[in-house]
Amino acid sequence: MEYVIGRDPQTSQIKIACGKQSVRLGNPGDVPMTVSRQHCSLIVDNGHYILKNLKPQNYTYVNNVAIEQKSVKESDNITLGSEKFHVDFTAILHVIKQLTPRTVDIRPLQALWEDHDQHSLDQIIAERKFNALRGATGLITMTAIILALTVGRNVWYILLYCMAILASFFFTIKAYKDSTNVPKKRKEQEKQFRSKYVCPNCGHHFTMPYDELSQYDFCPYCKAKFIK
């Protein structure tokens, strides 16, 4: 896992961030401007720590020696910036324990995605069926006209013409109502889906299908490990 260490621009405190999570250390105003917002990073790998300077214009020191990347231990003296601002490495390691991603079960998200996907498909099918039935109005009208031209305006002509008028009236009213109700319903359904199809750890909404999401071992945002 990699944790970014730098100066919080709002409070001028040391800020340790991992994904969407962050923690501030020290008193407001303590950190000088010579420490950048993303000054260095600490890579944690099975109890081993690697400190990495993130930008050429930054200065990161370990035991008063400027480094670009170096393996460090808790007893090392770490200072940042040209003013050599001291950071409490022990406190940073304590914060890292708080930020260490949890293991989360994303399997319930599969049913959520499948229900959402099926509902979207059902809506498309319903719309196409409605449009197909709506087209039947013209077919009935054409049949009535052909009947009138061939055998005259008899009772069947009148019946078919009345059916076409009623069908046209029905579909027009339904289309008018759906033009307002359907978008509102879709918006509410999408809102509910977005509130549920999220990382159980950080709450960030996933935009990818579950089949793609399940290819990840960790949350792209908070790095929580997936159970899948």
pLDDT at 46 over 80: no
Q: CB count, 10 Å around CB of 143?
A: 16
pLDDT at 31: 95
* N-to-C CA span, the chain: 20
| Torsions phi, psi for 47 (to 5 deg) | 85, -5
Give the model's pLDDT for residue 53.
Answer: 97
pLDDT band at 82 (very low <50, low <70, confident <90, very high): very high
Residue 223 confidence (pLDDT) above 80? no
Give 82-144 as a DSSP string.
Answer: TTTEEE-HHHHHHHHHHHSPPEEE-THHHHHHHHHHHHHHHHHHHHHHHHHHHHHHHHHHHHH
pLDDT computed for residue 11 by the predictor? 96
Q: Which of 199, 210, 205, 193 is nearest to 104 (CA)?
A: 199
At residue 224 the predicted structure's pLDDT band, cuts being 50, 70 and 90, is confident
Highest mean pLDDT among 40-54, 59-73, 84-98, 123-137: 59-73
Domains and CATH numbers, the chain: 2-100 (2.60.200), 104-227 (no CATH)
Percent above pLDDT 90 for the chain: 50
Mean pLDDT of the chain: 86
Q: Is pLDDT above 70 for 125?
A: yes
User: What is the band of 220 on the pLDDT scale with cuts at 50, 70, 90?
Assistant: confident
Q: Across-strand partners of 15?
A: 6, 24
What's the whole-model pTM score? 0.47
Average pLDDT over residues 192-217: 92
